[in-house]
Amino acid sequence: MDTDTDDVELTLDREQATAPDLPAPEAAGDPAAEAFARLEGEMALMRRAVQHLAAERADIVIPDYGSTLTDMAKRMCAICENLQGMAGHPALQMTPDSIGNRIAAAAESARRSDQDRFSQARDDLHHATQTMRSVTANARLAADQRRQLYLMAGGGLLAGVLLWSVLPGVVARAVPQSWHWPERVAARVLREPTIVDAGIRLIRSQNPQMWEDITEAAKIADVNREEIKRCQAMARKSGRGVNCTMKVGG
């Protein structure tokens, strides 16, 4: 708008510069004639300026805002629809009382859910306690059974030992003496290789002096073996006792 005003002013200046000379007033000293002459000149300049301005306005190209206005109208309709949807939303139609009721209902539901969870936890704890008691009772019963088993095993072992210590003697005495089972049992019990060694050990443990006498007698018999045989032959021949000379020592 400022540019158009400047152009008009420049045009007016040019028109004024090229305007034809006004007719000279009839009376140079008449103020009214001079005023009318000046007014006529100004009117002529004004008419030419208005004509020139109308020609410039006709040359101005006005843009088409139809599509822009259509798009704006569509957007305004969409905004109106959204506002209507928001206005019809139940949350905007709620009153303070209804909001309070909703909050109270939600709190009651939450408390009920917590109560259900507490009840479930209590039931689970009770079940776990019962299970632990059952496991403890089973463990105690198993320990008692194990203890009884140990006692029975110990009693059976002791009975077996006693039976094994008595039964071989009974069986050995029941068989014929020619089998020498008691002597064999004694040798095995004493862990001696032969029955003789077992007898020697028994004699030495019960009467050491007797074992010494037996040893000395065996030595004397071994030294006088021939003399003893001769005396025995003489005694059998005569049918009575005979005197024999024995060598002792040396």
What digits encode the pLDDT tens for the residues 71-127?
Answer: 888 888 888 888 777 777 776 667 777 777 878 888 888 778 778 888 888 888 888
Q: Which residue has the tokens 């306690």?
A: 129
Tally the C-alpha atoms within 13 A of residue 18's C-alpha that lie toward its C-beta.
6
Contact status, residue 227 vs residue 245, Cβ threshold 8 Å: yes
Report the residue count for the chain: 250
Q: Model pTM greater than 0.75?
A: no
Tokens of 27: 């009376």
Contact status, residue 228 vs residue 221, Cβ threshold 8 Å: yes
Given its phi and psi angles, is residue 64 left (phi above 0), alpha (psi -120 to 50 degrees) or beta?
Answer: beta
Q: Which residue has the tokens 């540019």?
A: 3
**Which pLDDT tens digit goes with each residue over 20-77?**
444 444 445 678 788 888 888 888 888 877 777 766 655 556 667 778 888 888 888 8
pLDDT for the residue 57 = 58
- C-alpha dist (Å) from residue 53 to 40, 181, 237: 20, 162, 199
Interior angle at CA 73, CA 64 and CA 78, nearest 5: 150
Percent helix, strand, coil in the chain (nearest 5)?
80, 0, 20
Contact status, residue 49 vs residue 5, Cβ threshold 8 Å: no
Pairwise CA distance, residues 80 & 78, whole Å = 5
Amino acid sitting at position 67: S
Pairwise CA distance, residues 60 & 201, whole Å = 154
pLDDT for the residue 58 = 57
